[in-house]
Chains A and B, each alone.
Chain A
């Protein structure tokens, strides 16, 4: 069975040495986040994830969820583990203290969500979706709605869901049919069918708060006429106690490739009572609050699965003996050398590692900017951070899940045929990681979001939030001691990104299909540069630590080697990506559909 150890040392390095979160003591929640407190919090949650949540990962995969007469049972152990998680107060880590949360920085929330997802992705989705519902109600709910729902969502007593998808509409929500009819008492009657609803029905909590997109009759057509509703599974009395069962039922569970431990439900709404949240017909705005949080969460899934897959590939590579090293026997006491002596095995392991550690830095950097966007006293700083998060979100969602999936298959490859065998657990990582590229806006849609929405915003204002600091970093460090190895490669890749950006902007204006054709390669190019920026900074920090005579030399030396590997082996892909972007969309659009 696979095992999991939380990457606590790397979290400490990123939070304390790279992001310097101790410098933000003036922001609410950060004063508490001193290095020793952060350590204690990460240690505490890591212990729970490693010892309680991770052992249920394979059980969840093998058993899956069961539906019997509308009632969904989660796999053995999930309920007890969820209780332990909630009793420990972990569900409220970043939540508003006014509603029972601990108000700790979002960046710590991302770290915990990585650990929980590595331990057990299917399990982590239950609290993950509650978190999305929390965000939406917190941002858009009335005071009464907040008082009624938030404390119980924060404590974990109730969970949440997000209901967008219908059989005929996934990406294009303008096609939505679910109907919301106004009632005399101000509530609405919701009728329609939602599909693929994660955590839509289960036995972990006493109530489930569904956030549902629906159309109020007579409103504008398409996406402009969509509203968001709160639809509780059990009606909630004014004092928070539970009333009658509402008219929403789980019609069936999907049989799916992975995340078996998470219930993916068809939910039938049959005149269910719902309450408008936010403005009528402006539901997409509120939904995006939820989706932006969820997109980062999904990006973390790619990284998280890659991390645990990596750990188990490493332990196998040290243990499995097969063949002799090309440069002569390394372990004469054994009939063959462990496969970690082979360059190609090392290529795979280091590719995953250069990705996960770079991605973790990018994710936490995004996280700290969410904190700044929410909490910084200066509105200009808030705006700047918010812009950066908006720009990075499609990259975190898309690149981290694409590369996360690639990493999971690479880790499986290290295991050879044994990686294909269910009991060993490696193929589960591949199956679990796959969904993250699809839901929360398929990765192709993320690329369109980047090219079509984020680049043009404010005439490239979002873009400049990234370009300027990178330019500055390159200028300041290129002549320094780490310049040749770590800054020059970044500078080259950054130049390619600038070229690609100019191409997309220019061609896209003339012909939108050109922007669409370039979008996925462009996003990957951009994301690689973003990771390169993180790796170059990490290399500088690691070098400085070594120069200062840091104790933990092996850790910093490994960082430098991995940084070098990233520069030499991952970042050069920007060259071929640029070539693809500049090749344009001619061939893509040439064939008549009949000729495919």
Chain B
């Protein structure tokens, strides 16, 4: 079984994100970029499947600018076998990504596709679900545990207020949640080997996919700054203020 993992290059989770002065987006100049942490979990899960003899090949795919190649190399250093870079400098929205992944699925025929439940830049939480629909295959989102049993997968999902176990037919789409696993540190020999692993370059045009944006960003703004609080003398004042000033009770 081939496992396909989608990995996105995003602003590193340690970076304090700043909004561009003109409000059109986030300032990316000289900002550290890394693999989306949920995708790292996806790569780890796929590599573990391979180590356990459940997967035969781990393919990682990224959609983005030339530098997304570094993200693919990181995944290859973690143990993925080969990469596919769908190169575009345009903004790609979840639907376009799902269509591109669908095209890759048609070509590669994977038994399992893993995406993160969301990317930490736009937090859309849509790509995996849209892909499953376009591909006409089952989905198990927010995975907390995964067991492959023949041509089925048992997936424990994180849902509001608890865990839910579902069984789905393969091929299927899985989206990772934070607690699925703890990604490994890439080893030095694997970092060096990663350089020799193949990365296939494609473009949206070569896959025949229209990636035109369907959503328009009106404005990007920083969340309002926290203002200083006030100390209230007693509970009665607090309740009163919550009622009259905050209007929450």
Contacts and interface: CB of A to CB of B under 8 A. Distances in A.
Interface of A: 32, 34, 36-37, 40-41, 44-45, 47-48, 51-52, 84, 87-90, 92-93, 102, 551-552, 554
A41 B187 contact: no
Interface in B154-192: 185-189, 191-192
B185 A47 contact: yes
B27 interface: no
Contact of A84 (B70, B77, B185, B189): B185
B194 interface: yes
B185 A37 contact: no
Given A41-B191, A87-B187, 15 more contacts: A32-B192, A34-B195, A36-B73, A40-B73, A40-B191, A40-B194, A44-B186, A44-B191, A45-B188, A48-B185, A51-B185, A89-B187, A89-B189, A102-B189, A552-B30
Interface of A is mostly: helix
A40 B185 contact: no
B215 interface: no
Nearest to A555: B30
B185 A44 contact: yes
A36 B70 contact: yes
Contacts of A87: 187
A279 B209 CA distance: 72
Interface string B74-87: 10010000000000
B30 A89 contact: no
A44 B30 contact: no
14 contacts: A32-B192, A37-B191, A37-B192, A40-B194, A40-B195, A44-B185, A44-B187, A44-B191, A48-B185, A87-B187, A88-B185, A88-B186, A102-B192, A554-B30
Contacts of B73: 36, 40
B29 interface: yes
Q: Which of B30, B73, B186, B195 has the most CB of A within 10 A?
A: B186
A41 B186 CA distance: 9
Contacts of B74: 40
B192 A92 contact: no
Nearest to B34: A43
Contacts of A36: 70, 73, 195
Contacts of B29: 551
A87 B185 CA distance: 10
Interface string B21-34: 00000000110000
Contact of B185 (A32, A52, A92, A552): A52
A102 B30 contact: no
Contacts of B185: 44, 47-48, 51-52, 84, 88
Chain B, interface size category, equals 10 to 19
A40 B77 contact: yes
Contacts of A34: 195
Contacts of B189: 89, 102
Nearest to A88: B187
A37 B195 contact: yes
A157 to B, nearest CB: 15
Contacts of A47: 185
Nearest to A50: B14
Nearest to A8: B32
Nearest to B73: A40
B77 to A, nearest CB: 7
A463 to B, nearest CB: 38
B188 A44 contact: yes
Listed from nearest, the 4 A-B pairs whose CB atoms lie closest are A89-B188, A88-B187, A89-B189, A89-B187
A215 B45 CA distance: 57
A52 to B, nearest CB: 7
A93 B188 CA distance: 8
Nearest to B187: A88
Contacts of B30: 551-552, 554
Interface in B189-218: 189, 191-192, 194-195
A102 B188 contact: yes
Contacts of A102: 188-189, 192
A84 B182 CA distance: 14
A552 B185 CA distance: 29
Contacts of B194: 40
A44 B78 CA distance: 11
A31 to B, nearest CB: 11
Contacts of A45: 188
Contacts of A551: 29-30
Contacts of B188: 41, 44-45, 88-90, 92-93, 102
A515 B229 CA distance: 68
Q: Which of A40, A45, A552, A554 has the most CB of B within 10 A?
A: A40
Nearest to A92: B188
A93 B187 CA distance: 11
A554 B29 CA distance: 12
A242 to B, nearest CB: 26
Contacts of A92: 188
Nearest to B189: A89
B70 A44 contact: no
Nearest to A32: B192
Nearest to A89: B188
Contacts of A41: 188, 191-192
A102 B193 CA distance: 11
Contacts of A554: 30
B118 to A, nearest CB: 23
Nearest to A37: B195
B190 to A, nearest CB: 8
A154 B68 CA distance: 34
Contacts of A90: 188
Nearest to A45: B188
B212 to A, nearest CB: 29
Q: Which of B29, B73, B187, B195 has the most CB of A within 10 A?
A: B187
A92 B192 CA distance: 13
B189 to A, nearest CB: 5
A251 B74 CA distance: 47
